[in-house]
């Protein structure tokens, strides 16, 4: 039969249009409107954050402060009507460590109270100690790679063995940081967001299974790119190697009888203190000597005096409370039971732990407060949810995603064998927030192309709030990776940088004052809407091909 050309074209267009319409998700704009109203007009997100920071911060994993904060969060979830709320233990973490009292003073050439903070898992002083600091510098820069750091440490050991007994040593090189030229606070420009949407250039990844096969970049700016592209097992081996080097250094300094260590904060400045760990958190490893990080401005003065043989004297005092053995790590878990498909799960999460020089606001009290608020919104509106919505607030993220990795292994699959539990088939997806308090601008697809049309439709009602960017790119460094590693859909949202990388990340400025209320309210609305859509769509979220088993390094248990 002959069909006129115009009729054939019309039929083809009808078929194509029918396919597009049938492939679209039904977005209930009435529900989105209700979610926005609840998230904006009756927000409690900043009250969650105030309690997590001003009252219960910081939240170093294993510390009494973490445990108190976990009890508060669990009770808050119960008040909002969540079920099965509990702190789920994932086994031994390491020592409990907290500070009872400390001081750091420059006595000569003039008196100054030093801006300093002790590093986690360093030991106490035996009362106040006074001495002339000795410049015995060791470059600990991550960007040079574990092999170079190990070689440098061996040379350092040979040079300083027998010369450090009873000394207060200055461990960071004497140097003046370059002037700060970038803005301290910024939002993504439209040009930057457009660039993020571009797929990365195809590149052959280094196919390695062992850390010693990895070619470390010569340019420091390429190190982060390499780290983000590393497969999970290599990242674990890298973390293990840095842990081993930290243990070796702590043992050396203890064996040499070092009295205390001062380190300069040259990564941050303007009176900031970036405080992480002095050594290993595990009870089987030696504690580091009493170790303080000092602001770049104060440390630079002391180091220059020592470098020019102009005597300085300091007085240090540190009292810590440390457990005799390992304590168990924990995650805070709660659920909103579903209806027709209640055995299937949609998860939201953020890491709950923090470092200790600030109160853990932007890293990651903000993400935890938003996810608590998401559950509050869903319960307050009494929305119909076919699938169960589960929240996970993770411990041990700062030590290598320990809490989320343990949870995924216990509930979904073991990445070293890819042996799956029945729950693996029941999880629809996981949504994470952990890049400061900046508002959501879009989402990283983690190379999961099938999710693009879903996110495009779900996020469309928030375009006027700046949510416009969907990128095929991966992002790393946080807990969604624990899920994607075993083939589960896991996503981290794109957020405005604000002052996260320039000021607050792991520093003394990581406080409530640097959280932006409007941004956290926006994020709460966006995620609550995405969760509602995921919980009620007919099918679970599409999945990529199951990854291959990735055994951990021999002899390592993580």
The CATH number covering residue 259 comes to: 3.50.30.30
Burial of 391 (0-12, 13-18, 19+ CB in 10 A): buried
Q: Per the structure block, which two tokens stand in for 34?
A: 């209700």
Q: Per the structure block, which two tokens stand in for 478?
A: 């946080």
| Domain assignment present for 339 | yes
| Domain assignment present for 16 | no
Tell me the CATH number at 401.
3.40.630.10
Domain with 37, as residue range(s), is 25-95+326-536
- Residue 287 φ then ψ, to 5°: -70, 150
Helices (H), 182-229: 190-197, 221-229
Q: Based on the fold, state whether residues 299 and 410 are members of the same structural domain.
A: no
Element (DSSP H or E) covering residue 250:
helix 232-256
| Domain assignment present for 556 | no
Q: Based on the fold, state whether residues 316 and 368 are members of the same structural domain.
A: no
| Domain assignment present for 553 | no
| Domain assignment present for 457 | yes
Which residues, other chains included, contact 554 with Cβ-Cβ below 8 Å and sequence gap of 6+?
A: none
Sign of CA dihedral 429, 433, 435, 438: positive
Nearest to 245 by CA among 335, 320, 138, 160: 138
| Domain assignment present for 4 | no
Last residue within a domain, chosen from 305, 320, 335: 320
Q: Based on the fold, state whether residues 204 and 353 are members of the same structural domain.
A: no
Q: How many domains does the structure of the chain reveal?
A: 2
Q: Based on the fold, state whether residues 298 and 362 are members of the same structural domain.
A: no
Burial annotation 402-425 (CB, 10 A radius, 16+ → b, else e): bbbbbbbbebbbebeebeeeeebe
Q: Based on the fold, state whether residues 248 and 390 are members of the same structural domain.
A: no
Please report, for residues 298, 349, 375, 479, 483, the alpha-carbon distance to residue 392 in angstroms, rounded to integers and kept in the order given: 40, 5, 11, 10, 12
Q: Based on the fold, state whether residues 299 and 409 are members of the same structural domain.
A: no
Q: Per the structure block, which two tokens stand in for 129?
A: 């100690």
Q: Based on the fold, state whether residues 355 and 452 are members of the same structural domain.
A: yes
This prediction has a pTM of 0.93
pLDDT by residue for the chain (558 residues), tens only, comes to 444 444 444 444 433 433 343 356 889 999 999 999 999 999 999 999 999 999 999 999 999 999 999 999 999 999 999 999 999 999 999 999 999 999 999 999 999 999 999 999 999 999 999 999 999 999 887 778 888 999 999 999 999 999 999 999 999 988 787 788 888 999 999 999 999 999 988 766 556 777 877 888 887 777 777 776 676 677 778 888 888 999 999 999 999 999 999 999 877 667 888 899 999 999 999 999 999 999 999 999 999 999 999 989 999 999 999 999 999 999 999 999 999 999 999 999 999 999 999 999 999 999 999 999 999 999 999 999 999 999 999 999 999 899 999 999 999 999 999 999 999 999 999 999 999 999 999 999 999 999 999 999 999 999 999 999 999 999 988 999 999 999 999 999 999 999 999 999 999 999 999 999 999 999 999 999 999 999 999 999 999 999 988 765 433 333
| Domain assignment present for 11 | no
Within a 13 Å sphere around the CA of 381, how many CA atoms are in the beta-carbon half? 24
Last residue within a domain, chosen from 320, 350, 383: 320
- Residue 419 φ then ψ, to 5°: -75, 125
Q: Based on the fold, state whether residues 471 and 354 are members of the same structural domain.
A: yes
Q: Based on the fold, state whether residues 115 and 52 are members of the same structural domain.
A: no
Q: Based on the fold, state whether residues 387 and 484 are members of the same structural domain.
A: yes
CB 120 within 8 A of CB 250: no
What number of residues does the chain have?
Answer: 558
| Domain assignment present for 2 | no
Q: Based on the fold, state whether residues 339 and 479 are members of the same structural domain.
A: yes
């Amino acid at each position: 039969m002959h069909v006129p050309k115009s009729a054939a074209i019309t039929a083809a267009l009808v078929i194509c249009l029918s396919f597009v319409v049938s492939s679209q998700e039904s977005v209930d704009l009435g529900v989105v409107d209700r979610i926005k109203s609840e998230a904006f007009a009756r927000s409690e997100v900043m009250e969650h954050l105030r309690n997590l920071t001003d009252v219960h911060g910081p939240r170093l994993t294993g510390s009494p402060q973490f445990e108190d904060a976990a009890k508060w969060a669990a009770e808050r979830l119960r008040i909002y009507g969540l079920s099965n709320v509990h702190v789920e233990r994932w086994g031994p973490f390491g020592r409990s460590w907290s500070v009872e009292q400390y001081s750091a003073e420059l006595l000569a050439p003039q008196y100054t109270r030093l801006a300093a903070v002790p590093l986690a898992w360093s030991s106490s002083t035996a009362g106040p100690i006074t001495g002339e600091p000795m410049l015995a510098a060791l470059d600990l820069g991550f960007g040079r790679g574990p092999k170079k750091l190990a070689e440098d440490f061996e040379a350092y050991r040979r040079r300083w063995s027998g010369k450090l007994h009873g000394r207060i040593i200055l461990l960071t090189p004497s140097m003046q940081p370059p002037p700060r030229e970038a803005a301290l606070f910024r939002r993504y420009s439209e040009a930057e967001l457009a660039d993020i949407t571009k797929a990365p250039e195809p590149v052959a990844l280094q196919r390695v299974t062992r850390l010693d096969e990895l070619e470390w970049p010569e340019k420091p700016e390429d190190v982060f790119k390499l780290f983000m592209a590393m497969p999970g097992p290599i990242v674990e081996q890298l973390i293990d190697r840095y842990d081993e080097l930290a243990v070796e250094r702590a043992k050396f300094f203890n064996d040499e009888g070092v009295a205390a260590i001062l380190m300069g904060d040259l990564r941050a400045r303007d009176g900031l203190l970036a405080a992480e760990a002095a050594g290993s958190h595990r009870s089987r490893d030696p504690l580091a000597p009493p170790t303080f990080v000092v602001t770049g401005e104060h440390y630079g003065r002391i180091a220059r005096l020592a470098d020019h043989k102009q005597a300085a004297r300091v007085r240090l005092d540190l009292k810590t409370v440390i457990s005799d053995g390992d304590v168990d790590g924990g995650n805070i878990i709660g659920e909103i039971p579903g209806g027709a498909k209640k055995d299937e799960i949609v998860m939201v999460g953020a890491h709950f732990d923090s470092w200790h020089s600030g109160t853990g606001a932007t890293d990651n009290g903000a993400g935890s407060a938003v996810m608590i608020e998401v559950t509050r919104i869903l319960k307050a509106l009494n929305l119909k949810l076919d699938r169960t919505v589960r929240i996970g607030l993770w411990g041990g993220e700062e030590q290598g995603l320990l809490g989320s990795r343990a949870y995924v292994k216990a509930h979904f699959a073991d990445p070293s064998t890819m042996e799956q539990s029945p729950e693996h088939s029941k999880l629809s997806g996981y949504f994470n927030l952990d890049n400061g308090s900046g508002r959501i601008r879009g989402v990283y697809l983690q190379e999961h192309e099938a999710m693009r049309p879903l996110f495009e439709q779900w996020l469309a009602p928030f375009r006027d709030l700046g949510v416009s960017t969907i990128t095929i790119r991966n992002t790393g460094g946080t807990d969604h990776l624990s899920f994607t590693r075993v083939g589960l859909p896991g996503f981290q949202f794109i957020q405005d940088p604000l002052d996260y990388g320039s000021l607050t990340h792991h520093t003394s400025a990581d406080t409530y004052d640097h959280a932006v209320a409007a941004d956290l309210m926006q994020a709460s609305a966006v995620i609550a809407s995405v969760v509602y859509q995921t919980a009620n769509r007919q099918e679970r979220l599409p999945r990529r091909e199951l990854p291959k088993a990735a055994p951990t390094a021999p002899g390592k248990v993580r």
